[in-house]
């Protein structure tokens, strides 16, 4: 009889199919059911062309949907599987990949830039050699925040930008102050290539996207433009959201801003953060990455988060926000024409993904803070919606 051998071969596929369908079959909570209407209301009131979201409970995506269109003036709808640029949400993947390589013994958190990039220098002699990879991913390099991001915005080639760091004086010693970066954060790419002799893109796909079955996720501009079901970027001009071209600048810094993904992909990513794919994303590494390192008091004044947060820190590729006595782990992203945010609570086994194809940080935070305020504080939510 061939039935038993065939069933043994098919069993993993059948189980995977069951889990995929079950992830959408669980009945959402009343809060989740009402979220869709709130999401649509914010999108419509802001005139944003389109957006998508996913809500995670435990090991399942209990709600995922899109609203609006992929491009203003066209009919193609946004769905839960529409691909967006996720901008700085990419940093969470870079941190996880690095943590896996540290666990493997390929890298160490105290490895320095000087080992992989001896030619890279700041103005103060020896400063770059004291920067460790934990400082890169922990946003504590000691260099003025967002150094030369304006040049990335202008699509200046990275090989022209990097030598300009030689003109920068540090504002503190590495590891002593919070100094958010994109270009410096992305130097983990050549560090990883130096240690593994593999491309960053190949490792992200091999170690994270493929084993997690993030079917729509990719990295880099070419992969994004090859995706048929993708959201186009929009910018606001004369009070209207207008479609614009995909810009290459931030695709030069793949670890910082190079990932493309759908809401359902990122829902899967949050399920892994909650411990349900320990073979791919070990929980002990997740805890290490979300350990509060550098306090970020300016986050307490972020639009809509003001009044809701009681403290804020940065870990390794993740933000740690405290609401009352509870923590959520979060990262948002913003590149021309897109905003994105993911966040989850370990204690509540809950996560939220929001993706918009327009540069509206106010709409993004209004959606997120309404969700987390209600999730944690119930009717005592402290956040005030933006006008």
Domain count, the chain: 2
Single out the residue of 119, 54, 92, 45 nearest to residue 263, CA to CA. 54
Residue 96 located in a structural domain: no
141-166 in b/e form (b: 16+ CB < 10 A) is bbbeeebbbebbeeeeeeeebbeebe
- Classified as helix, coil or strand, 260 is strand
- Report pLDDT for 62: 96
Residue 351 located in a structural domain: yes
Q: Are residues 181 and 130 in the same domain?
A: yes
Q: Are residues 121 and 219 in the same domain?
A: no
The helix (run of H) or strand (run of E) holding residue 373 is: helix 361-377
- Report pLDDT for 33: 77
- The residue among 196, 224, 256 that closes a domain is 196
**One digit per residue, pLDDT tens: the chain, 387 residues?**
333 333 333 333 333 333 333 333 344 566 687 899 999 999 999 999 999 999 999 999 999 999 999 999 999 999 999 999 999 999 999 999 999 999 999 999 999 998 899 999 999 888 888 999 999 999 999 999 999 999 999 999 999 999 999 999 999 999 999 999 999 999 999 999 999 999 999 999 999 999 999 999 999 999 999 999 999 999 999 989 999 999 999 999 999 999 999 999 999 999 999 999 999 999 999 999 999 999 999 999 988 899 899 999 999 999 999 999 999 999 999 999 999 999 999 999 999 999 999 999 999 999 999 999 999 988 444 333 333
3-state DSSP of 182-242? CCCHHHHHHHHHHHHCCCHHHHHHHHHHCCCCCCCCEECHHHHHHCCCECCCEEEECCEEE
Between CA 86 and CA 267 the distance in angstroms is 13
φ, ψ for residue 295, nearest 5 deg: -70, 140
- Report pLDDT for 259: 98
- Report pLDDT for 158: 97
- Report pLDDT for 14: 33
Q: What is the CATH number of the domain that holds 29?
A: 3.40.710.10
Between CA 64 and CA 329 the distance in angstroms is 20
Q: Are residues 223 and 354 in the same domain?
A: yes
Question: How many contiguous H segments (helices) and E segments (strands) does the chain have?
Answer: 15, 13
- Report pLDDT for 378: 80
Q: Are residues 118 and 174 in the same domain?
A: yes
Q: Are residues 242 and 329 in the same domain?
A: yes
Residue 18 located in a structural domain: no
Between CA 331 and CA 258 the distance in angstroms is 14
Between CA 144 and CA 146 the distance in angstroms is 7
**Domain that includes residue 174, residue range:** 106-196
């Amino acid at each position: 009889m061939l039935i038993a051998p065939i069933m043994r071969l098919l069993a993993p596929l059948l189980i995977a199919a069951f889990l995929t369908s079950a992830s959408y079959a669980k009945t959402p909570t009343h809060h989740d059911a009402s979220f869709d209407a709130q999401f649509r209301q914010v999108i419509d009131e802001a005139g944003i062309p389109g957006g998508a979201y996913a809500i995670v409970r435990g090991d399942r995506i209990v709600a995922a949907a899109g609203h609006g269109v992929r491009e203003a003036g066209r009919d193609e709808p946004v769905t839960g599987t529409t691909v967006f640029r996720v901008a700085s949400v990419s940093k969470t993947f870079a941190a996880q990949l690095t943590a896996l390589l540290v666990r493997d013994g390929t890298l160490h958190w105290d490895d320095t830039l000087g080992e992989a990039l001896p030619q890279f220098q700041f103005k103060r002699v020896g400063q770059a050699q004291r920067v460790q990879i934990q400082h890169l991913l922990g946003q504590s390099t000691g260099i003025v925040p967002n150094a030369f991001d304006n040049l990335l915005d202008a699509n200046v080639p990275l090989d022209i930008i990097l030598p300009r760091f030689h003109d920068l004086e540090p504002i503190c010693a590495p590891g002593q102050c919070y100094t958010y970066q994109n270009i410096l954060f992305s130097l983990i790419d050549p560090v990883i290539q130096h240690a593994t002799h593999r491309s960053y893109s190949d490792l992200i796909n091999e170690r994270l996207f493929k084993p997690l079955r993030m079917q729509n996720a990719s990295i880099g501009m070419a992969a994004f433009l090859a995706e048929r079901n993708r959201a186009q970027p929009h910018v606001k001009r004369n009070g209207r959201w207008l479609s614009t071209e995909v810009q290459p600048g931030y695709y030069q810094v793949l670890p910082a801003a190079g990932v493309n993904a759908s809401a359902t992909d990122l829902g899967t990513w949050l399920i892994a953060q909650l411990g349900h794919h320990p073979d791919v994303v070990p929980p002990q590494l997740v805890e290490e990455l979300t350990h509060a390192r550098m306090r970020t008091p300016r986050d307490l004044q972020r639009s809509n988060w003001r009044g809701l947060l009681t403290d804020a820190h940065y870990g390794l590729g993740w933000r740690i926000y405290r609401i009352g006595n509870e923590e959520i782990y979060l990262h948002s992203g913003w590149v021309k024409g897109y905003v994105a945010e993911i966040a989850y609570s370990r204690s509540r086994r809950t996560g939220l993904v929001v993706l918009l194809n327009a540069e509206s940080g106010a709409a993004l935070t209004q959606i997120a803070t309404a969700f987390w305020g209600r999730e944690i504080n119930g009717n005592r939510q402290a956040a005030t919606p933006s006008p």
